[in-house]
Structure 1
Amino acid sequence: MPKTKEDRIKTVMGGGGHVVILGAGASIASTYRNGELYGKKLPSMDNFIDVVGLGDLIKDLPENLIAKNFETLYSNLHKDNPNSDLIKEIEFRISDYFGDMKLPNEPTIYDYLVLSLRGKDLIATFNWDPFLYQAWIRNKEFTNDLPRLSFLHGNVAIGYSEEDKRCGPAGMYMRKDGGYFEPTKLLYPIEQKNYTDDEFINTEWDRLKYWLNSDSTKLVTIFGYGAPKSDLEAVKLLNEAWGTGEKRNMEQFEIIDIRDEEIVRESWDNFIHSHHYDYSTNFFESSLADNPRRTSESYFQHILPMSPDEAFSASNPVNSELKTFDEFWEWHRPLIEAENEYEAKNK
C-alpha cells in the first residue's frame, strides 16, 4: 500500500480507465497560463466575431440574421443560405485563424494533461484549436504510452482519409500513392448537429461512447466544458453512453470549471451518483495533477481499498513550476520507468 510518494510512483496496475472531456475552457485556461506562441487569443462564442476578425463580413447583414453569439449567428446564416459565399469565407477565416496557432516552447497545461494519462485512457475534445494534438505529438518524443484522442467537433490539425478510414495531420498524405487527410469539418448549425452524418465525426464519437460504456472506465473528468443547451445532441450522446448517475454508483465524476460549484454540479447532475464527484477551479488541483499517470491506481485504493490504510494512501502531485521540457520529462521519468518494469514483469 503506497504510504509515500515513492510508493505511489511504483504502484502500477493494469486495469482502470480515465476519460477526460475538454471544452473551450480548457484551452483558454492553457493560454492564460502560457500564451499562444504568437500572442493569438482564444475566443469564446460571445467574443468570437471580434477575436477571429469577422466583423467586416457581417456588418451589413440584415437585423434578423445578426447575433452576438457566433453559434447563433452561424445557424441564422445557414438557415438563410447554407451554400452562400459568406459562409464559405467565414469557414475559411476560422480555419486560417486556428490553423496558425502554436503552443509556446515551454510545458503547458496541455502537456501536463497528456502526460497525466496512459494508453488505457482517452481525451475527447470539442475544441478546434491544435493545442491538444501538438502537445500529444511533442510528448511522444518522451514516451509512446500516451492517451488516445477523439476530436468531437473536428479540429484544424486533423484530417480524415475516407479511402483509408484513418485520420492524421490535416493536408498530409498517409502514403505515397494516396490517403490524403482532408481537413475536417468544423462548423455545424446548432439545431442540426447530427454527428452521425459525418463519417469522421461519427468515428470520433463512437470511440468516446465505447470508452464511456466500458466497465473498466471508472473516472470521468470534465474540463472547461459547460454542456451548453445549444448542443443538445452532444449532451444526449454523452448521457446515453454514460448512463444515469444511479447506474454509476462505483464511478467518480470530476469537474474542472471556474464557475460556481452549485451551477456546475447542476449542469452535470444526471451524470453524478450521490456525492461521487470532485470539483476544482484549477487543473493543478485535479486528480490528474494530484496523481499523474496513477489516477486509476489512486481511485482503486481510495474507493475500493484492500485495507484501511489504502484509503489514506499517498499522492504524488506534479510540480507545476517546470519551465523546460528537460525538467518536465525528468520529473515524469520515474513514473515511466515504473510502468516499464510493470510491463516487463507481466508479459
Structure 2
Amino acid sequence: MTREEEITKVYGGKPHVVILGAGASIASTRRNPEATGKELPSMYNITDVVGLRDIVDALPDGVYHDNFEILYSKLYDLNPLSSEIIEINKRIYDYFSGMKLPVEPTIYDYLVLSLRAKDTIATFNWDPFLHQAWSRNQPFFTEGRSLRECDNLYQFPPKILFLHGCVSIGYDATHDASGPSKYNAYTANGDLCYFEPIKLLYPVTHKDYNVDPYIKSQWIRLQRDLKEAKRVTVFGYSAPQTDVEAIDLLKEAWGEVDARAYEQFELIDIRKEDDVKESWNEFIHSHHYDYHKSFFDCSLANHLDELLKVIIIGVFL
C-alpha cells in the first residue's frame, strides 16, 4: 500500500484520535527543553515553579493541599471572586503564555505530522506547545498555500482540540469564534472579533464543561470523533479521579466496550503497563491495546520516515 492509499483508505476513512495529558508535554520538554528555560510544572510543584508561594503561605488554615488542583478548589469554595483566585489565575496564565517550543523538531512536531486531516488531537494541557507545533508545520501540508486555497482534504493538518483551555487560544462569545489569544480578526461576514483569553482553572468540585461555550464545543467535537474512531492513542494522560466529568464524557462517547471489538487502544505512559491498562480497562476490548513507554515506539512515530525527519530539522534550523 502506498502512502497515499494509506491516507485515504486506512480503517475505512475512520479517524485516529489522540488524547494528550501532562505526560506528553513533560516528555517533549525532557527531550527538547522549553526555549526560554522554563520548567513545565505539575499539580504538585506548580506553586513553586510558577511563583505562587507568597499567596499559598498566606491562605487560611485548612485550605492547603499538596495537590494544587485540590487547594484551588478549596479556595474557590470560600470565595470564587477573591483577590487570591484572581491573582493565581493571572500568574498561571502569564507563566504558560510565555512558553515556547525550541527551534529543533519536538515530539509535538512529529505528532502533528504523523496524522491526517480526518484525525484529531485533543489535549488537556494549558501550554502552547500543540498549537505552536500545529501552526509551524502547516507548510508541510499546504505546500506554502493558505488553508483556504487547498482543495484536497488530505492537504490539511489534523484537527486540534483544547479540553481544558489553552494560553494560545482565545474566544469571541458574541461571534462564537476562536483564534489566537488577544488577537483581532474578521469573520467571513466582515465582523470584527476579539479573542479573549480562555479560562484555564476550574475547581475539581465544580467542573462543568457545559458552562463555558468554547470548552463545551471542544468536548462535543471530541465525543463525535471518539464515536467514529477506529484507533485511539492516549499519551501521558492518567485519567485522574479528580476529573470525574472528563472520564464520564469519554465513556459516554466511547460506549460499551463490548461494542468496540474492532477498535484498538494505544497507551503511551512511563508507568507500569498493568497500572496504565487498569486506568483504561473500561475502554479496552479484550487484548486490543498496545503499550509503549516512548512516543518513538508507537504507531504514530512509525509513520514518520527518516527523510521526513531530516526535512523538518533542515527547515526549523
TM-score by length of 1: 0.82
Counterpart for residue 150 of structure 2: none
List per-residue Cα deviations over 1:25-61 (Å, max 9, x = no partner).
Answer: 0000000000000010101111111111100111122
- Give the aligned length: 297
Counterpart for residue 282 of structure 2: 270
Instruction: Please tell me whether residue 281 in structure 1 is matched to residue 300 in structure 2.
Output: no
Counterpart for residue 336 of structure 1: none
Counterpart for residue 76 of structure 1: 74
CA contact (8 A) 1:102 1:130 kept: yes
Segments of structure 2 that go 5 or more residues without pairing to the other structure are: 143-155
CA change 1:13–1:177 in 2 (3 A) is closer
Q: Supply the RMSD in Å over aligned alpha carbons.
A: 1.8
Counterpart for residue 319 of structure 1: 306
Structure 1 counterpart of 2:33, which letter?
G
Counterpart for residue 198 of structure 1: 212
SS state of the match for residue 174, structure 1? strand
TM-score by length of 2: 0.90
CA distance in 2, matches of 1:328, 1:281: 29
Instruction: Please tell me whether residue 48 in structure 1 is matched to residue 46 in structure 2.
Output: yes
CA distance in 1, matches of 2:283, 2:315: 34
CA contact (8 A) 1:284 1:320 kept: no
CA distance in 2, matches of 1:325, 1:251: 31
Compute the displacement of 1:213 (Å).
Answer: 1.3
Compute the displacement of 1:98 (Å).
Answer: 0.0
CA distance in 1, matches of 2:303, 2:135: 22
State how 1:184-333 maps to structure 2 within 5 Å.
Answer: 184-214=198-228, 217-292=229-304, 318-319=305-306, 322=309, 325-327=312-314
Range that drifts further, 131-140 or 60-69: 60-69
Counterpart for residue 8 of structure 2: 13
List per-residue Cα deviations over 1:178-207 (Å, max 9, x = no partner).
Answer: 211111010100011100011000000000
Counterpart for residue 170 of structure 1: 181
Which residue among 22, 25, 30 is the counterpart of 2:23?
25
CA contact (8 A) 1:107 1:323 kept: no
CA change 1:90–1:112 in 2 (3 A) is same
Structure 2 counterpart of 1:157, which letter?
S
Range that drifts further, 171-180 or 36-45: 171-180
List per-residue Cα deviations over 1:268-303 (Å, max 9, x = no partner).
Answer: 0000000000000100000101124xxxxxxxxxxx
CA distance in 2, matches of 1:121, 1:328: 24
Compute the displacement of 1:149 (Å).
Answer: 0.9
Counterpart for residue 126 of structure 2: 128
CA contact (8 A) 1:111 1:135 kept: yes
List per-residue Cα deviations over 1:122-180 (Å, max 9, x = no partner).
Answer: 00000000000000000012214210011000100000111221110000012285211
CA distance in 1, matches of 2:307, 2:52: 37
CA contact (8 A) 2:172 2:193 kept: yes
CA distance in 2, matches of 1:246, 1:272: 9
CA distance in 1, matches of 2:306, 2:176: 40
Range that drifts further, 241-250 or 320-329: 320-329
CA distance in 1, matches of 2:74, 2:42: 18
Compute the displacement of 1:326 (Å).
Answer: 5.0
Counterpart for residue 307 of structure 1: none
Counterpart for residue 181 of structure 1: 195
Structure 1 counterpart of 2:201, which letter?
L
Structure 2 counterpart of 1:194, which letter?
D
SS state of the match for residue 265, structure 1? helix
CA distance in 2, matches of 1:63, 1:324: 56
Compute the displacement of 1:319 (Å).
Answer: 3.5
CA change 1:24–1:169 in 2 (3 A) is same
CA contact (8 A) 1:126 1:153 kept: yes
CA change 1:89–1:21 in 2 (3 A) is same
Compute the displacement of 1:322 (Å).
Answer: 4.3
Compute the displacement of 1:324 (Å).
Answer: 6.8
Structure 2 counterpart of 1:168, which letter?
G
